[in-house]
Structure 1
Amino acid sequence: MNVSLYIAKRYLRSKSSNNAINFITYIALIGVILGSASLFVVLSGFAGLKDFTLEFSSIVDPDLKAEVASGKSFILTDEDISKLNNLENIALYSKIIEERVLITSDEKKTLATIKGVDEHFQKVVNIESEIDYGSWLDQKSNQIVVGWGIANNLSVGVLDFTKPIDIYVPKPGKKQITSTSNAFNTVRSVNVGVFYINEKLNDNYIYTSIDLAKKLLNYKPNQISALEFKLKEGADIEATKQNIKNVLGDKVVVKNRAQLNDALYKMLNTEYLAVYLIFTLVLIIAFFNVIGSLIMMMLDKKQSLNTLFNMGIHLKDVRKIFFYQGSLMSIVGGFIGVVLGLILISNQIYGPDFLKIYITPTLPYPVKIKMINLFLVFLTISVLGIVASKIASARITKSLIKNI
C-alpha cells in the first residue's frame, strides 16, 4: 500500500478541527470547479461561434477551387476538360470568370466584383438557398443577382425595368484614351434576385451568366478565371487536389475550403488561443487558493506529521502526502467542473427554450461540444494542480515538522 496516498485521501475526506482551514479548503475546491467549468463553457461557446461564422463564410465556397496562378485568366483546353471529366472523385465543376467592375443605376454607382458562372454553379454550391428576394438567373440572358449591400447602394429592386443597371469594364489596350465612351465595355442588365450571405459578399459581389461576363471582358470561348469543384461524398480532398493540379499544371493554384478563407481561419484560431490563455491565467490565480489551502493544512497537521516522521517515514514521503492531496483536489475539482460545464452546454443545445441564452429573440447562442476541449480543460487543470501541489509540498522541511 502507498502510505502517502492513503493518508492524502484521508486528509482530503476528513474535516480539520479548525473551521478556518475547512473554509479555505472549500473555497479552493470551489475555485477549481468553477474555473474548469468556465473554461470548458467558454471554449465550447467559441467552438460553436467559430462554426457559426464559418458556416456563413463558406456557403458559397466550393469543396475545391482552381484559381489562376498569375494574371487574371487562363485557357481551359478541350484536353483539360476531358481529363477533368475522367477524375473519379469529382461530382461536378463550374467554370468561373471574376473581375472588378463599375455598376451604375440612374445617378448612383458603386464598384463590385462580377462573377460569371455557368449552369452547373448552383449545383456546386447551394447559392439558391441564400436568395432572399427574386430567383436565380437564366444563363441565356443579361440577368444578374446582387447582394443586399449593392442593392441598397444602388436602390434597385427585383425585375425593376424602369431602373436599368449598366456594368462597365475598362477596355484592354495601351493607346491613349481619346473618348470616355470608347474607354469601357458596357452591358445593360436587369436584376432578378437579391442574396444575403455575409457582409463581405453582400457589399461586393454580383452574379451573372458566364457568357455575359465573357462578352463584357472580351474573353475567348475557352478563357476563364477559375474552376470550382464539388467532390463526391467520401472523396479524398488532398488526393483530388493533386489530381486536378496534375491535369491543369502550373497555371492554377488549387485550394480547399479552409485555404479559401485562410485569413478568417487564422483570425479565429488566434482568438481561440487568446481566450484559452486568458482563462488559463484566471485558473492560475485560482490555484493560489489550492497552495494556500495545502500550507494551512500542513500547519494544522504538524503534530501528526511529527509522529509519522518519528515512526520512520522519510521527509519525501511526508511531502508526497500533500502533493497527492493537492493533485487529487485538483483532479476531482476539474472533473466536477467539466461535468458541470457539460450540463450547461448540453442544456444550451438540447434543453428547453426558456433555459437557453439567446443572441437575438430567435437565435440561441451557438455552442459545440468537442472532445478536444474536454481533454484540453482536464489536462490544463491537472497540470496546474500538479504544479501547485509541488510548490506547496516543497515547503515541508524537517524544522517545520519538528518545531512543535
Structure 2
Amino acid sequence: MQLLFAWRYFKSKKTTNVINIISWISMIAIAVGTASLIIILSVFNGFEGLVKSLYGDFYADLRVEPVKGKLIKFDSFQIHQLNNIGNIADYSLMLEEKAVLKNGDYQNIVFLKGVDDHYANVVNIKHHIVEGSYLLGSTDAPDIILGYGIQNALQSSFKSPVPLTIYMPNAEAENFSDVQSAMVSFEMGQTGAFRVQEEFDNKYAFTNIGFVKYMLNISDSEYSALEIKVKNAAQLDKTQGDLQRLFGNRYAVKTRFQQNTGLFTIMQMEKWIIYAILSIILLIAAFNMIGALTMLVLEKKKDIAILKALGADKRLIQNIFLKEGILLGVVGGVIGMLLALTICLLQQKFHFVKLGGTSFLIDYYPIVLSVGDFILVGATVLFVAVLASWIPAKKASEQDFSLKS
C-alpha cells in the first residue's frame, strides 16, 4: 500500500508546477550522474584491460628471481622438480644486463635480455614483432631484436647490412676507470623490432642467452631469472606456493601483478578516486530531491491528515514519502543505466570517440562493460535516494496537518 501511494504521487500531476520541474531536474541529474559513472568506469576497465593484455604479453605468469644479488643458480634437481609441477605449461631461463648499443654515430643504453628457445612460448612477444622476424641467432653468430623506440634512437633497420656494435661489462676487467678495458664489444645483426608500449620499446632488446653468457663470462647454471607460463590461471596461487617451497627463501616467486605492483595499484586508485568525484554529481541531485519531496509534503498535507485520521501511524507516512524518493532515484538511475549502456555499446562498435595523438596502439577510447559496475552504481544511487528522502519523509511523519488548513 505504501508503494501504491508513492507511485500515485510520483505519476500524478502536481497543482504547483514547480514541484514537477524540480522532480524532473532531480531525475535528470541522477540519470546524468549514473550514466557518467558507468561510462567512466567502463573506460577505466577498457584501459586496464588493454594495459594488462600488454603487460601479459611482456611479463610471464610467474617469475623466479633472486632476493639478493643479480644471479640465481639452478641445479639439475630443481629443474627436475620443476618439471613435476603439473600446472606449468612451459618455462624459460634468461639473463639480463645493461649494455650500450651503437649504430655508427648513434648510441643508446639498453636492457639486453638473453633468452632461450622457450621464451616465445612463455610470453607472447612474437605477436608484437612489427618489423622483421623473431630470430635471435646463436652464441657465435648472435642476432638482436630491438624495441621500436631503440630502433628509432639508433636510426637502424633490420634491412641494413651494417651490423650493430654492442658493449657489455667485462667481468675480467681490473681497472674499471679505463672504459676500453672495462667493456667488451661484439658486432651483431638486427633481425627485427617489437612494439608493445613506450616503456618497453625504449628499454629492452632481445638476443640469445648463450651469447650473453659468453659476453659476461657466466657459468651455464647461473641466470637472472626463471619465467613461467601456467596452464590454469585459477591455480596460479597454488603454483606460486609450490615454486616458493621448491626454491626456498633465497628466491622470490612473483606473479605478474607483483612484478608491477605500483602500476596496478595506481590504476585501481585512479578508478576509485574518479568514482568518488563523480558521485558528487549524485549528491547534488540529492539536494534537488530534498527540495522536491519537501514541496510534495506541503502539497499533500491534506492527504497526510486524512491518512492519520484513518489510523495511519508516523511510520506509514514516513515510508510513503521515503518510497517516493526511492522511486525518483530508481527511475533516474534506470534511465541513466540505459543511456550509459547505449553509449558504451555504440562506442564499442563504431569507436566514434577518438583518442588524441597518434602514438597509441589504438586510436579510440576502449570500453569494457562490467556487471559489477552496474551493481555498484545502482547501490550508490539507491543509497543517495534513501539519504535524500529520509529528511522530508521524517518531517512529514512528525508534522500535524489539519483538514481545515
Q: TM-score range by the shorter chain?
A: over 0.9
* Partner residue in 1 for 2:179: 180
Aligned length in residues: 398
* 1:183-237 alpha-carbon deviations (Å, 9 max, x no partner): 1122222211111111111111010100111112111011100011111246611
Question: Could you say which residue in structure 1 is the equivalent of 2:213?
Answer: 214
Deviations 1:82-118 (A, max 9, x none): 1111211111111111111222222222211110000
RMSD across aligned C-alpha pairs, in angstroms?
2.1
Tell me what 1:378 maps to: 378
d(CA) in 2 for partners of 1:129, 1:5: 58
Q: Tell me: CA distance 1:344–1:178, structure 2 relative to 1, closer, same or farther (3 Å).
A: closer
Unaligned runs of 5+ in 1: none
Q: 1:35, CA displacement in angstroms?
A: 1.7
Q: Give 1:6-21 correspondences, 5 Å limit.
A: 6-21=4-19
- Deviation of 1:166 after TM superposition, in Å, equals 2.0
Residue 236 of structure 1 aligns to a residue in which SS?
helix
Deviation (angstroms), 1:268:
0.8
Contact 2:56–2:123 (Cα < 8 Å) also in 1:
no
* Counterpart check, 1:357 vs 2:353: yes
Confirm or deny: 8 A CA contact 2:136 2:206 kept in the other structure.
Answer: no
The CA deviation at 1:381 is: 0.3
Q: Does the 8 A contact of 1:114 with 1:205 survive in 2?
A: yes
Cα 1:113–1:178 change in 2 (3 A) is closer
In the alignment, which residue of structure 1 is the partner of 2:36?
38
* Structure-1 separation of matches of 2:214 and 2:310: 97
Q: Residue type of the partner of 2:354?
A: Y
TM-score of the pair, normalised by structure 2 = 0.92
The residue number in structure 2 matching 1:156 is 156
Where do 1:4-403 residues align within 5 Å? 4-140=2-138, 141-162=141-162, 164-172=163-171, 175-177=174-176, 179-233=178-232, 236-349=235-348, 351=349, 353=350, 356-359=352-355, 363-396=363-396, 398-399=398-399, 401-402=401-402
Per-residue CA deviations over 1:146-196 (Å, capped at 9, x if unaligned) read: 11111111111114232x322222334694447432111222222111111
Tell me how far apart the structure 2 counterparts of residues 177 and 246 of structure 1 sit (CA, whole Å).
39
One-letter identity of the residue aligned with 2:367 = V
Kindly provide the amino acid, as one letter, of the partner of residue 393 in structure 1. A
Partners in 2 of 1:41 and 1:344 — Cα distance? Answer: 8
- Distance of aligned partners of 1:76 and 1:17 in 2 relative to their CA distance in 1, 3 Å threshold: same
Give secondary structure in 1 for the equivalent of 2:320: helix
Deviation at 1:374, TM superposition (A): 1.0
Deviation at 1:357? Answer: 2.7
Instruction: Report Cα offsets for 1:310-331 as digits up to 9, x if no partner.
Output: 3332233222221111012212
CA distance in 1: counterparts of 2:27 and 2:318, whole angstroms? 20
Tell me the amino acid that sits aligned with residue 365 of structure 2. Answer: Y
Cα displacement (A) at 1:131: 1.0
- Secondary structure at the aligned position of 2:220 is classed as coil
CA contact (8 A) 2:173 2:181 kept: no
* 390 and 399 in structure 1: CA distance in 2 versus 1, 3 angstrom threshold: closer
In structure 1, what is the Cα distance between the partners aligned to 2:334 and 2:245?
A: 51
Amino acid at match of 2:44: F
**Deviation sequence 1:232-286 (CA, Å, 0-9, x none):** 2466111111112222222321111222221110111011001100110111111
Taking structure 1 as the reference length, what is the TM-score of the superposition?
A: 0.92
User: Using a 3 Å threshold, how does the CA distance of structure 1 residues 374 and 328 change in structure 2: closer, same or farther?
Assistant: same
Which letter maps to 2:31? Answer: I
Q: 1:167, 1:186 within 8 Å by CA — same for their partners in 2?
A: yes
How high is the sequence identity, in percent, across the aligned residues? 30
3-state SS of paired residue (1:206): strand
Cα offset for 1:348?
Answer: 2.4
1:356 shift after superposition: 3.5
Q: Unpaired segments of 5 or more residues in structure 2?
A: none
Q: Deviations over 1:95-144 (max 9, x none)?
A: 11111122222222221111000011111111112111111123413111
Amino acid at match of 2:222: Q
